[in-house]
Amino acid sequence: METTSSITAGHAVLETVIGFMGIAWSEKGLIRLCLPERSREAVERRLLRHAGVSASTAQPPWVVELIASIKAYAAGEDVDFTGVPVDLDGIDDFRLAIYDAARKLGYGETTTYGELAKRAGHGGLPRETGAALGANPVPLVIPCHRILAAGGKIGGFSAPGGSNTKEKMLAMEGVRVGPPPPAQVSFGF
């Protein structure tokens, strides 16, 4: 039973090996996740720009666990974020379906915008799927970095650093995107 003094909402900026990241939560779950920036202040500004982000920094136990998981992910560990509660109040049914389908992708698993649209029951809408993922409030937990353009191309990414950040996150998960490595020189015998 929660008391009135229980923490219901807040935010945190965390330092990881890949930069400063931020999260914000409501009484229902995670509402924002900011991917790496160079400074704590930049992340704090980005978080507090959004309506509904509480100034509180007190952390309920699930947030303490999430922070540890984010730090582990940033350090290169295989982390499963599917159990993280997410508060997506106010998000339309199309985006909810896309986000739900994206959450089913495991560490190091990728798909295309077109295939994800199909999995979400909205086949034929790859551009709209890309737009929905570009508005994803909780990247990493909803792993939009795992969705590629047709032909295995990197595709867009709206986080700081753009496609370079997406490529780095995928590389951390063992996924190589882009042209194949140069062929090994053969010995000819």
**Residue 129 DSSP SS3:** helix
22, 12 contact by CB (below 8 A): yes
Instruction: Tell me the β-bridge partners of 112.
Output: 148
133-171 as b/e: b if 16+ CB within 10 A: beebbbbbbbbbbbbbbeeeebbbbbbbeebebbbebbe
Check if 34 is active-site.
no
Q: Which of 141, 144, 147, 159 is catalytic?
A: 144
The residues annotated with a catalytic role in the active site are 144
